[in-house]
Amino acid sequence: MDNFNQILKNKDVDIIVELIGGAEGPAKKLVFEALKNKKNVVTANKALISKYGDKLSMIAEKNKVNLEFEAAVCGGVPIIRSIKEGLIANKINRIYGILNGTSNYVLSSMEINKTSFSETIKQAINLGYAESNPSSDINGDDVASKVKILSCLSFNSFINKNIHVEGMKDVDEEDINNANKLGYKIKLMGFSEILNNKIFQRVHPTLVKKSSYIAGVNGVLNAVIVEGNPIGKNIIQGEGAGPP
């Protein structure tokens, strides 16, 4: 088949897997039209889900098809299924963690190998841990998309676009050395929590104590921490997905 319009009209196609990426253009058209044509959809497109997840979910429900997006958030960590199924009886009040393998690799390598930010980014690209243009990872947009998706699922809300985002491009060797002297590590983390019945979301470099669990999560690994009642604190860890 030469184009996806043929796939959408093919009655023998039950499931469509979208890995184009991006919140607009062909990816958006394909997923929207697939659901409208009663096709089940599997996607790893975090940008699309974090922007149009509400609308897509309603279309999928209306047409009685599945919209599966487990790989959109920390591909190697089954966090979405855990929230939707394993933790469904709990009231979650906070979810946070390391949600981007590229940024974690860069910050970990800068500390361990004493390399500069620019040098480590180039290494991450060469190893396939980052895209040729890693701006989404560096400026925090990738983590922000994941935080919005996790918030929606954790707090049973619509997509909340109000989020503070601060990337890691200004973190240098001196910052890492100073944090180390004080007993801390620097991690780019995403947070979402309920405070006074309002959802607060943020992404920023964070000082974490060396003795904490999250400080020991290095390389391309991701870790998500869920706090709630009666679950208490639950940690889910795994390898982050590669470039989308």
* Residues 77, 244 contacting (CB under 8 angstroms): no
Can you tell me the distance from the alpha carbon of 205 to that of 64, in angstroms, rounded to the nearest whole number? 41
Tokens of 157: 């809300």
Tokens of 213: 């669990």
Q: Which helix (H) or strand (E) holds 102?
A: helix 101-113
DSSP state of 115: -
Among candidate residues 167, 132, 161, the one with its CA nearest the CA of residue 148: 161
Among candidate residues 1, 57, 48, the one with its CA nearest the CA of residue 26: 48
Can you tell me the distance from the alpha carbon of 213 to that of 203, in angstroms, rounded to the nearest whole number? 19
Can you tell me the distance from the alpha carbon of 53 to that of 159, in angstroms, rounded to the nearest whole number? 7
Q: What is the CA radius of gyration of the chain?
A: 19
Instruction: Single out the catalytic residue among 146, 148, 185, 187.
Output: 146
**Helix boundaries (H) for 127-207:** 135-138, 141-154, 173-181
* 197 CB burial (10 A radius; 0-12, 13-18, 19+): exposed
Tokens of 29: 């058209």
Q: Is 198 a catalytic residue?
A: no
Residues with catalytic roles: 146
